[in-house]
Structure formats: C-alpha cells, structure tokens
Amino acid sequence: MTVIDANRMHEIETRYPEYFHRSFRQRFGGLMILIATLLYSLYAVWFFDLPKLFAEAHWERVGIYLSQWVSYDVQPEFRIGNDGSIDIRYPRFSPLGDNPHPDWLVNNPDGSITVSISGTSGSVTVSKSETIVTAHGVSVPVEVSSGAPKVVGPVPGWMTVYDDNVLADLGFAGNVSISVDRVKIRKRFIGWANFIFDTQSSFFDKPFGEVVSLIVSGPRIKPDQSNLSLAFDDIWNNSEWQHGDVWTKLFQTIVMAFLGTLLGSLTAFPLAFLAARNITPNRLLNQILKRFFDFLRSVDMLIWALFLTRAFGPGPLAGSGAIFLTETGTLGKLYSEGLENIDNKPREGIKSTGAQTVLVHRYGIMPQIVPVFVSQTLYQWESNVRGATIIGAVGAGGIGLKLWEAMRTNANWENVAYMVILILIVVFIFDAASNALRHRLMGTKAH
C-alpha cells in the first residue's frame, strides 16, 4: 500500500483543483435541480388544483367516446297504442335503411316483441302491459299499464327509476328507456356501419359474393352506367362516411404541407446567405434578417392561420400561407446557423483562385450544406403534415376542418376514428419516406 505524504497530497491538489476544490454549484448543483423540480411540481399541483380537477373529471365519458370510435348503435322505438298495438319506429337515418327487418327482433305469437341484447346474454320483451328486461342473469319486469312505469320486485344496480321512466344501463351493449307509452332501445354493435355502401346504394345490405358477381358479370343496375362505375360512385359518395370528401381534404392537407414547406425553403435559402455573418459581413443586415426570422417563427402557425383565414377566407390557401410564413422563419434560422458553422477552408481555397462569388458559393459552400439543408427541410415537411391537420381546424382547409366538424357534433366519433387513422397512416408513410431520404442524403444507414 502506497502512503502519500502531506507535500505530495498538496501537489496533487494543486495540479487537479477541479477535483479537490469544487465550487458550491458543482457540489450541490444536482441536488438543487432535484429540489427545484420537486418544488415546481408541487406548485403546479396547487396552481392547477389537480386534486379537484381529477375528482370532478368525467372519466366515464372516456370509455363512452372510445366505444363509439369502434362501434355503432341502432335505436328502435316501440310505441304502445291505447288498443294494445305496438308500433316499431327507427330514426330517420338508421344504419338499417328505410325498411329494416333485423334478425335480432322477433315478433312473438302473443303480440309481444323480443329484442336480443348482445354482450349481456339478455333481452328486452315489450308487451302492452309490461316490459321485461333480462340482463346479467336477472329478469326484471316493469309494469307500464299505470300512470308511471313501475319496477316489480327489487331494483338492480344497473337500473335507475325516475318519475316518468325507467332507465336500464346494459353497459357497452346499450341501454333501455321505458315509459308508459313507449320503450326506446339503444343496441350497440362492434364495427363501422355501412362503411362501403350507404343505405341509398343499390349494393346496400348485399352479401360480398353477390356484390362481386354483380360487378363482374351481373346485369346492369343502371342502363347508362356499368356496375363497376356505379359501385365506385356509391363508395366515393357514401353519404354517411363521405369517403370522397375525406380523401379530397386529406390530399389538400398533404398539398398544403408540401407547398408551404417548399415556398418557405425557397424563400429562406437566399435570405440565409444574407443573414449568415461569415457569408455577408454586414452586421446590420445580419441582425435585421435574424430578427425577421425570429418574428416569423415566434408567431405560431395556428395564429398565422387565423390571420390569413380572416384575410383570404377559409380554405387551403390560408393553410399554405401559414405554413409558408412559419417555415420561412424556422428554416431561415436553421439555414443561417448551418452556414455559420461551415468549414471555411474549401471556400477560401476556391476564392484564392480568383473565382467569382457565385462559384465560391457553388463549390466551396454548397457541397457542405446541401445534405444538411435537405435533411432539415424534409424533417420540417414531415412535421408540417401533422401541423396542417391542426390549422385546418380553425378554417385553413384540409382534413383538420372536417375532423373538427365531426367532433363538434359529439355523435360521429366513428367518423373521427376513421379520419384519425387516415392521418396516422399518412404521417407514418411520410415519416418513413423522410427518414429514408435523409439517411440516403447523409450517407448513413437507416435503423
């Protein structure tokens, strides 16, 4: 074991003071950051009143909305007449069409009607004097012959009694509302109703094999149009899902992102040469352009979209303009900083030959910056595909506006899911393409 005397120890401390005489920041910096983060977290909890927020949140709506993303419901209504007759009615735009005869609705010999309810192994039987709800292994009769509906026997936890009606909550399967003269059932199904053909289509409710047979070799449904063309028109103009309008708006979003990014990069490129200190030795011009870039990118794309929709009206022009202004500021800053960090030796070497300024930039600067600039532009383009969806919600056109319209109704959540999935697919495709191009330009392998 080696023993270090006092002189040797002093020599080591003198040689390496950063290890033996650390400052207060070096010794306690990590601890101070941890304490500051904890205090800020506590402040945020108090400022936003998170306990109250979580306690009063309607968490049950999350499940309801998510279920509506992947399902649809049918709402038959049974009206009980004074003579004991039961009239079945459906909403005007029922997924079953104008003349529904579902197999889950059975007319019994005694005049009652039984509706099977999936998911709870139950059913609802409607007669002139009572309605029997069977769910969760229990059958609960509800008398409807008196002035108000009355539950016979104990009331289960999934049933609520009000003054003029009884509500049976069957969970995901739906619910049943019972009053004296009518019973309304909400029956839920997994899937998206009429996604291919709507109820007005000639191909509606036909089996897949029959549709294929009609398209390939069947007689013409409309004499002046082939069945293939008719099927495409029915899909494209589906009144419930509006495929044609959705895909057109999606294409608008892609064009908005591409056009705005392209114009922004073309504008930012020459301005970046003027803003770079090592390219243009004019401090005033450098600062003016850099502050101009800061102004353009400090105003959020959403704010630019609001300004432009007021100036030009709603539509993709406002969206493209908002992306253009934002990208001019963002790419201008990125380009100018990239130019300021280039290696000046190739540039000086070409300049020493007496070459003109244009040639100096072409051969001394461009080979260094083009891969980096293209990589940054591709990343911004990929990001703007997502951004164009957001600004569309404020009237700048594209699928964002249509998505916002579907959400505002609070009833078309399956349409919202459809558009969200399309947006995700487009973002994934553009992300993969952008990454592949960037790695190819930079000469690296994609992982």
**Geometric angle at alpha carbon 201, from 231 and 96, rounded to 5°:** 135
Q: How far apart are the first and last CA of the chain?
A: 50
**CA dist., res. 231 & res. 237, Å (int):** 10
Spatial separation of the C-alpha atoms in residues 213 and 398, rounded to whole Å? 37
Of the pLDDT bands very low, low, confident and very high (cuts 50, 70, 90), residue 372 is confident
Q: Calculate the alpha carbon distances from 23 to 16, 29, 34, 45 in Å.
A: 13, 9, 18, 33
Scan for tokens 């009652």, then name that residue: 112
Q: Which residue would you say has higher pLDDT here, 144 or 263?
A: 263
C-beta separation of 421 from 336 below 8 A:
no
> Sign of dihedral through CA atoms 134, 138, 144, 145?
positive
pLDDT at 235: 93
Token pair, residue 390, equals 């957001």
Q: What are the C-alpha distances in Å from 207 to residues 102, 105, 249?
A: 15, 20, 31
pTM to 2 decimal places: 0.78
Q: Which token pair is 7?
A: 């002189």
Domains of the chain, by residue range, sit at 6-47, 74-190, 243-442
Q: Report which DSSP code applies to 10.
A: H
286's enclosing H/E stretch is: helix 283-298
Q: Angle, nearest 10°, between helix axes 227-236 and 243-275?
A: 60
What is residue 127's DSSP assignment? -
Beta strands in 100-245 (DSSP E): 105-107, 113-117, 122-126, 130-135, 138-143, 150-151, 159-161, 166-169, 174-178, 182-190
Judged against a pLDDT cut of 90, whether residue 98 lies above it is answered with no
Region 348-367 average pLDDT: 77
Share of the chain above pLDDT 90, in %: 26
Please give the CATH superfamily to which domain 243-442 belongs.
MetI-like (1.10.3720.10)
**Distance from CA of residue 235 to its chain's centroid?**
23
The SS3 call for residue 179 is: coil
Q: What percent of the chain stands above pLDDT 70?
A: 92
For 26-53, the pLDDT digits (tens) are: 777 788 899 999 999 999 999 988 888 8
Is pLDDT of 293 > 90? yes
The pLDDT score that the predictor gives to residue 292 is: 93
Mean pLDDT over all residues of the chain?
A: 85
